[in-house]
């Protein structure tokens, strides 16, 4: 288990200078980083401070005055609950989470137009997990939560704190290492709760409903022959019927959209090709605030791309929003 935070730091939000913070503490899911831009004062007591010394975006590390979204949001003394799926910092904008190959967890604040701010490390020790994803608010507090699968097949719930951090994990399942894909579509069956989809080795797709205590209930099988897909992404609602829709990439590189119905999904509609060069796909939520889920994709060269979802299940042309993302193993 990841240890709980046992002490606090005292930081003045306005006293941003060149004095380094060299102390390290272990937190709920993070380790305090050495920062060249913070002064410790007695102005305000905060639960944790996480400011990186390097950034993985194409842009250079921002000046101190620019550390206002991903970093300063994580310093909030309160934990707002916007109720927006994918909003990890509580201000109403969808953010992006990423896990590096060294097991560290990073938060990239959303700009509200599909772009992201420079990253802030919010965790470590995640290399023992084989999947991470956010179905939305599981425990009913209005904050985005995370499911994660360990290498032993156990499934864990980590509640979002609304300030970019995660609470103590709780095991909610086992035997999930038999699943070859886990998907977070949002509310598929219109019961007001986030759902999970899981693909088994035989290619069948199965629906699991979430419970308020974080557990999952098996609902039914909703598809077959999904093992021909190299990637399956839950997009949330694309066509306005409130059901969670999907996009999927065939092993041949063709991309298809699948709109949810009461019994399964519509027949796949091809919306793209040559997607084999994109080796990591996710939909954090509605990143550009147009009411539809959007797609984030990493290319084999490490560049990061934003694709806005459209009501007909298609995606807009891609827009590059970052580079240097080869070291990331998971996005959500």
- DSSP-assigned letters across all residues of 38-75: --EEEEEEES-----S---SSSPPPPGGG--SHHHHTT
pLDDT digits (tens, 9 = 90+) for 238-285: 999 999 999 999 999 999 999 999 999 999 999 999 999 999 999 999
Query: What is the reported pLDDT for 39?
Result: 26
CB-CB contact of 327 with 100 (8 Å)? yes
pLDDT value, residue 83: 86
Per-residue pLDDT at 33 exceeds 80? no
The confidence score (pLDDT) of residue 276 equals 95
- pLDDT score recorded for residue 81: 81
Q: What is the pLDDT of residue 82?
A: 84
Mean pLDDT of 149-170: 96
Among 146, 150, 136, 86, CA closest to 287: 86
Mean pLDDT of 80-100: 93
Mean residue pLDDT across the chain: 81
Is the pLDDT at 50 greater than 70, yes or no? no
Q: Are 88 and 98 in contact (CB under 8 A)?
A: no
**134: helix, strand or coil:** strand
pLDDT at 26: 29
The pLDDT of residue 74 is above 90: no
CA distance 69 to 53: 16
Place 57 in a pLDDT band, splitting at 50, 70 and 90.
very low
Q: Which of 241, 246, 253 is nearest to 223 (CA)?
A: 246
* Helices (runs of H) and strands (runs of E) counted in the chain: 1, 22
Q: Which helix (H) or strand (E) holds 304?
A: strand 304-307
> Quick one: how far is CA 215 from the chain centroid?
19
Place of tokens 């967890």: 105
Cβ partners under 8 Å of residue 142, min gap 6: 81, 82, 83, 162
List C-alpha distances in Å: 94 to 175, 183, 251, 294.
Answer: 31, 18, 29, 10
Question: Between these two residues, 14 and 169, which has the higher pLDDT value?
Answer: 169
Say whether 205 sits in a helix, a strand or coil: strand
**pLDDT at 286 exceeding the cut of 60:** yes
Q: How far apart are CA 23 and CA 38, in angstroms?
A: 12
pLDDT at 80: 72
């Amino acid at each position: 288990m990841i240890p709980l935070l046992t002490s606090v730091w005292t930081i003045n939000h306005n006293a941003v200078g060149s004095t380094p913070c060299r102390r390290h503490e272990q937190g709920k899911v993070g380790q305090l980083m050495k920062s060249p831009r913070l002064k410790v004062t007695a102005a305000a007591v905060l639960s944790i401070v996480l400011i990186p010394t390097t950034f993985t975006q194409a842009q250079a590390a921002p000046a101190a005055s620019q550390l206002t979204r991903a970093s300063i949001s994580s310093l909030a003394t309160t934990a707002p609950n916007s109720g927006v799926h994918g909003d990890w910092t509580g201000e109403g904008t969808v953010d992006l989470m990423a896990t590096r190959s060294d097991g560290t967890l990073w938060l990239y604040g959303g700009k509200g137009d599909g772009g992201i701010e420079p990253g802030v490390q919010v965790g470590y020790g995640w290399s023992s997990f084989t999947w991470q994803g956010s179905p939305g608010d599981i425990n009913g507090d209005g904050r985005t939560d995370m499911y994660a699968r360990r290498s032993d097949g156990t499934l864990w719930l980590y509640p979002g704190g609304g300030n970019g951090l995660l609470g103590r994990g709780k095991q909610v399942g086992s035997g999930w290492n038999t699943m070859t894909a886990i998907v977070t579509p949002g509310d598929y069956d219109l019961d007001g709760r986030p759902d999970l989809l899981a693909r088994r080795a035989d290619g069948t797709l199965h629906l699991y409903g979430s419970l308020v205590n974080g557990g999952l209930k098996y609902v039914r099988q909703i598809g077959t022959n999904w093992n021909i897909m190299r990637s399956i992404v839950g997009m949330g609602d694309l066509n306005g019927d409130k059901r969670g829709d999907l996009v999927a990439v065939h092993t041949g590189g063709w991309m298809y959209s699948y709109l949810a119905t009461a019994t399964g999904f519509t027949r796949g509609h091809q919306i793209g090709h040559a997607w084999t060069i994109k080796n990591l796909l996710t939909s954090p939520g509605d990143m550009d605030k147009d009411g539809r889920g959007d797609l984030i994709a990493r290319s084999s060269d490490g560049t990061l791309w934003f694709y806005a979802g459209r009501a007909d299940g298609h995606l807009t042309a891609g827009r590059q929003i970052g580079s240097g993302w080869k070291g990331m193993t998971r996005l959500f």
